Homo-oligomer: A and B are copies of this chain.
């Protein structure tokens, strides 16, 4: 039995709760649930269905208000941190993680903020405490990216990574090309479909992709890179004409993130049609250049409630199996 504190009860947190209710491969007791304004704690295990109902009915998960205090006092083995990504000092998630580590808990997270903005601090603390920080859900949703580097390619020297890491951008570029529509038009469609946020800046300016590149770089090169180290261009200036011209030369235009020991970049790039990175719709794809394995490419759904929950559950399972 693993005791879990779950912080963040939006789409991802609820997806994790649903996965636990549906039966995880390890026995899970969720003893703490927090959203942005409330917290519920029960050392014997919360009834997740009731917590979900209260969130729907009343907009809160419990009567408590002090999440950090609850994380200090409760007893749990793993913090599952699924609150929204914030930049700058990556608070409040960074503080939640540090508190949990102080409490002797492992961290499993889909939150890009602390991993992209304060990776070195976080890992130093985890190393000292002898706990793990796992982050498969932060990069590429359900696609094995972080664990491909850390585990499947453990014996390889991975010199670089290239990928399409934002489904919103990929949807917009794919549809602009297929239908000859403008960026503004397709963005409006994507917003109507729930594929783009009402404020799409984070996605379309390339920031989300850049954060994922920073995390991959930090894992690969044990570095201390942050968002400031990425050369970022988004897709807002891409025109239907440029997509048509690219196609005439046998290419598609994709928002590609590139990670190497020397540089990090995010920009619209020409990709040959039929190339491994030529995936459409909201799909994500990541290619690793490895010295023994050669090029290894993983493709799938990079975001979404159940998809991200899949990654959180697999990381939680890995923590339990190791300990």
Residues of A within 8 A of B (CB): 15, 19, 24-25, 136, 141-144, 147-148, 151-156, 274, 276, 278-279, 290-301, 304, 306-307, 309-314, 316-318, 321-322
Contact B296 A155 (CB under 8 A): no
Contact B310 A153 (CB under 8 A): yes
Q: How far is the CB of A45 from chain B (nearest CB, A)?
A: 18
Given contacts A293-B310, A301-B294, contact A152 B144 (CB under 8 A): yes
Q: How far is the CB of A297 from chain B (nearest CB, A)?
A: 4
Which one, B136, B155, B290, B297, contacts A152 given CB within 8 A? B136
**Count of this chain's copies in the oligomeric assembly:** 2
Q: How far is the CB of A65 from chain B (nearest CB, A)?
A: 31
Q: How far is the CB of A63 from chain B (nearest CB, A)?
A: 30
Residue among A143, A276, A294, A312 with max Cβ neighbours from chain B (10 Å) = A294
Contact A314 B276 (CB under 8 A): no
Once the chains are docked, how many angstroms separate the CA of A200 from the CA of B276?
29
A311 contacts which chain B residues (CB < 8 A)? Answer: 152, 293
Contact A148 B144 (CB under 8 A): yes
A278 contacts which chain B residues (CB < 8 A)? Answer: 274
Once the chains are docked, how many angstroms separate the CA of A300 from the CA of B19?
30
A136 contacts which chain B residues (CB < 8 A)? Answer: 152
Contact A301 B310 (CB under 8 A): no
A321 contacts which chain B residues (CB < 8 A)? Answer: 322
Contact B318 A290 (CB under 8 A): no
Once the chains are docked, how many angstroms separate the CA of A316 from the CA of B314?
20
A143 contacts which chain B residues (CB < 8 A)? Answer: 293, 296
A312 contacts which chain B residues (CB < 8 A)? Answer: 155
A313 contacts which chain B residues (CB < 8 A)? Answer: 154-156, 292
Contact B296 A297 (CB under 8 A): no
The 3 A-B pairs of least Cβ separation, nearest first, read A155-B313, A142-B293, A292-B310
Contact B299 A276 (CB under 8 A): yes
